[in-house]
Amino acid sequence: MEADLRLAHLYPKLMNLYGDRGNILCLRRRCQQRGIALTVDELELGDTLDPNAYDLIFMGGAQDREQRRVAEDLLETKAEALHQAVAEGVVLLAVCGGYQLLGRYYRPAAGEELAGVGIFDAWTEHPGADVKRFIGNVVVRWQGGTLVGFENHGGRTYLEPGARPLATVISGFGNNGRDGSEGAMQGENAFGTYLHGSLLPKNPRFADHLIAQALKRRHSEVALSPLDDALEERAHAEAVGLAKKKLGFLRR
């Protein structure tokens, strides 16, 4: 396959909890194995985003201190371009803190509310430092099967009518521990989630879903050749199996 893609990695130094950079490595590897050239540009504080230059955009998670620094920069230097890119079909994946900052706002446990970019029709608030964090392995049901990952967040995210859940929780907490939703989709090309781990190496079908969408936008219809995902699928299956054992324990 002769094709190329370009990805913008937002704030890789500040927003990189629990191996989020592994998502970039996974996308690069899966593209390389198919002969697809993937160029990755790292955009930090002060760097502008060209909405016409990229096919994919990724943003990982961070603690509240880093999120405060990033929130201001997002609004000042990248918000308008992000909206334009998503509106024009660029594939966006935002994990945890990135997911929160791309909603309407994030209200942390302490300090001032952080205005969000508003890519996702959602908002997040932290109920307080003395409230239980959502920590542990997660399995969710996605349109392409199941997704597995690890969550660690105090914020509770609630979706408004303009967004829909990325998935429904099988085991774990998800967006808020109440409504069974995990993550968000805005349109067909913007995805937010709390799943770390990294997310994509254990979920090759989701990784390919992102690649296929980006290729379709850039090169029209381009079929992805199959890869040997035996190791990835085994890791995925083991995570699902552990979740089922946990559910069985909780139900006894």
Domains annotated on the chain, with CATH:
3-251 (3.40.50.880)
Q: What is the pLDDT of residue 1?
A: 54
Say if residues 71 and 114 touch (Cβ distance below 8 Å).
yes
Q: How confident is the model at residue 251 (pLDDT cuts 50, 70, 90)?
A: very low
Active site residue 31: no
pTM of the model: 0.95
**Ordered DSSP codes for 180-241:** -EESEEETTTEEEE--BS-TGGG-HHHHHHHHHHHHHHHHSS-PPPP---HHHHHHHHHHHH
User: How confident is the model over 75-118, as pLDDT tens digits?
Assistant: 999 999 999 999 999 999 999 999 999 999 999 988 899 999 99
Say if residues 198 and 27 touch (Cβ distance below 8 Å).
no
Share of the chain above pLDDT 70, in %: 96
Catalytic residue, chosen from 126, 153, 196, 236, is 196
Mean pLDDT score, 65-69? 92
Q: How confident is the model at residue 239 (pLDDT cuts 50, 70, 90)?
A: confident
User: How confident is the model over 195-219, as pLDDT tens digits?
Assistant: 998 899 999 999 999 999 999 998 8
User: How confident is the model over 7-54, as pLDDT tens digits?
Assistant: 999 999 999 887 889 999 999 999 999 999 999 999 999 999 999 999
Active site residue 196: yes
The tokens for 210 are 């992102």
Catalytic residue, chosen from 96, 126, 153, 236, is 96
